[in-house]
Amino acid sequence: MTTPSSNTLVKLTGVRKSYFSGKVETPVLHGIDFTMQPGDFVAIMGQSGSGKSTLMNILGCLDTPTSGEHQLDGHTVNKLSRAELAGLRNRTLGFVFQSFNLLKRMSVLDNVALPLLYANVPRAKARERARAQLAKVGLTDYANRQPNQLSGGQQQRVAIARALVADPPLILADEPTGNLDTRTSTDIMNALTELNRDRGQSIILVTHEPDIAAYAKRLVRLKDGLVLYDGPVREGLAQLQRDTQDNAAQETAQGAPA
């Protein structure tokens, strides 16, 4: 690659997204610019309706922008076919979802091995690598269980193992602690933080909880389809807290009897 941004992992330029129902256009993203270097750990926050799910889908190559450019790992995503998108997801992205999204009928081991099978890795080799990945999340003993025999925290660790098994440059975690209790949430977030710190794993985390966002290095706040804040996580969260207090004060003032 000869472009100066060759080192850039993700680059969004003026990304807009609208949904159409019939002729009615509902804009969700109004022009997002976002750049991410390898090794970064970004938390995306925003209230419901802010467009963070839509942004997540675009970042995950599950959806394409209405306009603007999306580059991922040197590929211009806008120009790819569905099959090419699938291949790109397979090679460059690992997903961790709020509801774990493990396949029920398969053993834990086969779930972890699945991304490798789609990458045409032979089954025996894929299972071997999956087993090694399960060992890293401490679930070796659960390899032959069905996912629903595991606790929520264990299932999410299986999902993390699945996301990591093909060694993708970017992990996308969409509310990964949304269905977990506080202690398990802490475990999962520690695991993700370690990955970023020790292996330089790039991570994008979508959450609405400031406590969870605090694990990241950088914060992106969305509001009404625009970036409200993009910077270090500490200042970002402080600003968020001030905004929340201001809103609360405003509401109190409005709600007070005249």
Q: Does 23 bind another protein (CB under 8 A)?
A: no
Does 19 participate in binding another protein (rule CB under 8 A)?
no
State the nearest-atom distance from the C-beta of 105 to another protein, in Å.
5
Site string for another protein, 121-150 (x = CB under 8 A): -xx---------------------------
Binding track over 93-122 against another protein, x by CB under 8 A: --x-x---xxxxxx-------xx-xxxx-x
> Under a CB-based contact definition with an 8 Å cutoff, are residues 162 and 134 in contact?
no
- Least distance (Å) between residue 33 CB and another protein: 22
Neighbouring C-alpha atoms within 13 Å toward the C-beta of 133 = 27
Phi first, then psi, for residue 75 (nearest 5°) are -105, 140
* Rounded-to-integer distance, Cα 248 and Cα 250, Å: 5
> Do 152 and 100 contact (CB within 8 A), yes or no?
yes
Judged by CB under 8 A, the residue of 11, 17, 129, 162 near another protein is: 162
CA distance 56 to 34: 12
In the set 89, 127, 129, 221, which binds another protein (CB under 8 A)?
A: 89
Strand order of the β-sheet with 93-96 is 93-96, 170-174, 202-206, 41-45, 218-223, 226-232
Among 27, 31, 39, 60, binds another protein (CB under 8 A): 60
What are the tokens at 196? 């970023």
Helix (H) or strand (E) holding 211: helix 210-213
Instruction: Tell me if 83 contacts another protein by CB under 8 A.
Output: yes
Spell out, one character per residue from 28 to 57, where the chain touches another protein: x when CB under 8 A holds, - when not.
Answer: -----------------------------x
Rounded Cα gap, residues 25 and 228, in angstroms: 23
| Footprint of another protein (CB under 8 A) | 57, 60, 62-63, 82-83, 86-87, 89-91, 95, 97, 101-106, 114-115, 117-120, 122-123, 162, 166
